Homo-oligomer: A and B are copies of this chain.
Amino acid sequence: MPDSLTQSQYDTVYNIFSLVIAAQLFASIFMLVSLTRVLPRYRQAMTVAAIVCGIAAYHYFRIFDSFKAAFVTDAVGGRGDYLQVAGAGFNEGYRYVDWLLTVPLLLLELIAVLALARRVQTSLLTRLIPASALMIALGYPGEITGDNGLRGLFGLLSTIPFAYILYVLFVELTRSLDRQPASVRRTISQLRLLLLLTWGVYPIAYLLPLLGLDGADAWVGKQLGYSIADILAKALYGLIIYRIARMKSFADDDSFAARELSVDEAREVRAGAPRSSVPSPKSARARDAE
């Protein structure tokens, strides 16, 4: 971390951290309040999404406090530079603690909302969750070291489980998507793409010091990158999970759709969404034969 920040650098980090707290906390509350807006079978996914945003809000409260304690202004009666306080380093470790808990849960909420057959769920989760925990654990030693060689090495090691997760999500999972209602297939693909794009921000921010960008600007850029990626990868991601759960609820249950939607909306849902999540006897047999 830098020895000093200008007033505008300090304000930028300060305000973005506050934005993340607000986004995560209220996304979490929104999802908890909206639990009954989806069928019970999708509430597990929604609950996990709310918990993820709650955990993130908790850690950003701590990150915010750590940041405030780490810098002190040298201004006397005005605005000036902020100097790092002796012995009160900004604790980057909170991010890793947060990711260690939330990244496996993000994968869990995706699998839960798909409501695949249980053996498929189990098979996916027993590979995705350990891989994601390993990805975070391998990143941490590289993050806290001052040695760029070690940073690169652990960054590389961490990429192996990341690549495996992408393989599972984009190759294996694709086979299961044709069992989803037609109305949500596109949204699920978008969600997967959001995951790829936002998770891609972390290695870029991680590698900034390797590019020689390790001054105050690079540090501020890294905090901005992590913060925005966290909002997209947790709060926006959770809201898309909610949208998928809503659409699947309507596709599964006409009377639920009639209660939750206006007459016009319900008619559109009935017209636009073949109820492919309720397989005909024929397609169920076809699947069992696989």
Contacts and interface: CB of A to CB of B under 8 A. Distances in A.
A93 B14 contact: yes
User: Chain copies in the assembly?
Assistant: 2
A35 B41 CA distance: 14
Given A86-B78, A268-B119, A40 B260 contact: yes
A217 interface: no
B117 A264 contact: yes
Interface residues of A, number: 74
A53 to B, nearest CB: 10
Tell which of A14, A54, A79, A87 has the most Cβ of chain B within 10 Å: A87
Main DSSP-derived SS at the A contact region: helix
Interface in A1-60: 8, 11, 14-15, 18-19, 21-23, 25-26, 29-30, 32-35, 37, 39-41, 43-44, 47-48, 50-51, 54-55, 58-59
Given A73-B88, A179-B264, 15 more contacts: A8-B144, A18-B62, A19-B97, A21-B58, A22-B55, A22-B98, A26-B55, A29-B54, A37-B44, A41-B265, A79-B87, A117-B264, A117-B268, A119-B268, A267-B284
